Amino acid sequence: MKAVILAGGMGTRLREETEYRPKPMVEVGGRPILWHIMKILSEQGIKDFVVCLGYKGDFIKDYFLNYESRINDITIKLGEGDAVIQHTRSSNENWNITLADTGLTTMTGGRIHNIKKYVSNERFLCTYGDGLSDIDIKALINFHNSHGKIATVTAVRPTTRFGAMQIDDSGTVNEFAEKPKSDKWVNGGFFIFEPGIFDYLKADSTLEAKPLEELSKKGQLKAYKHEGFWQPMDTYRESLELNEMWAKNKAPWKIW
């Protein structure tokens, strides 16, 4: 199965980082968050990727074109007969990566529409290039297989930004929880799509609007409930929180 990763947005809410690079290239523990997402998937058997590029997509192309030299020791010989000698080879990724320019301002559904030729008539996983999770991909696929519909979306309950209090009639705080999980389920990405999804997509589609709404109305969208860790990187605060988890060796998504 291939994984399609949406990595073309402008990341305006993370402007501190994205003014100079695309959001999927913002680092967590010294590696782009895009790399972490690919590691989560590859450790569970998905090693074939289609990355949908847009805003500053050349940064992502350059990263993977120079991947081996970035992570290994090299000697560079300049002048006549110039060459690069790689002394070590510590890359264990063994990935196949298609980097597809899907447009600077294209919306999410349009980006998927534009890479149809790279996924052929196959089922594929699709997710965003800015969210980390300890999701069980095998369980997600098994759930998708069980219902036979066109699409599965992973539903998550995000943690709230503020602490929550339980207060009785006298004003006494009976319970205080720091950043509890919300009672509501939201779209956490990690979709499984059958080829029929392309019947709902156009070049100007926003996936989260009309396509998913139509699938829902026709009973073709099911939700896989993930109760574990899930955290997007929409803001600078969230970027710092993810890096702190990594630094403290408390990164739930690190399954490798």
Q: Name the residue with tokens 């399954």.
A: 255
Q: What is the CATH number of domain 2-155+185-247?
A: 3.90.550.10
pLDDT value for 195: 98
pLDDT over 90 at 159, yes or no: no
pLDDT value for 157: 92
The model's pLDDT over 3-44, given as tens digits with 9 standing for 90+, comes to: 999 999 988 878 788 888 999 999 999 999 999 999 999 999
pLDDT value for 91: 67
The model's pLDDT over 227-254, given as tens digits with 9 standing for 90+, comes to: 999 999 999 999 999 999 999 999 999 9
The model's pLDDT over 181-223, given as tens digits with 9 standing for 90+, comes to: 677 899 999 999 999 999 999 999 999 999 999 999 999 999 9
SS3 state at 174: strand
CA count, 13 A, side-chain hemisphere, 255: 17
pLDDT value for 180: 62
DSSP 197: G
Handedness of CA 121, 203, 205, 8 (dihedral sign): positive
pLDDT over 80 at 170, yes or no: no
Judge contact between 245 and 251, C-beta under 8 A. Answer: yes
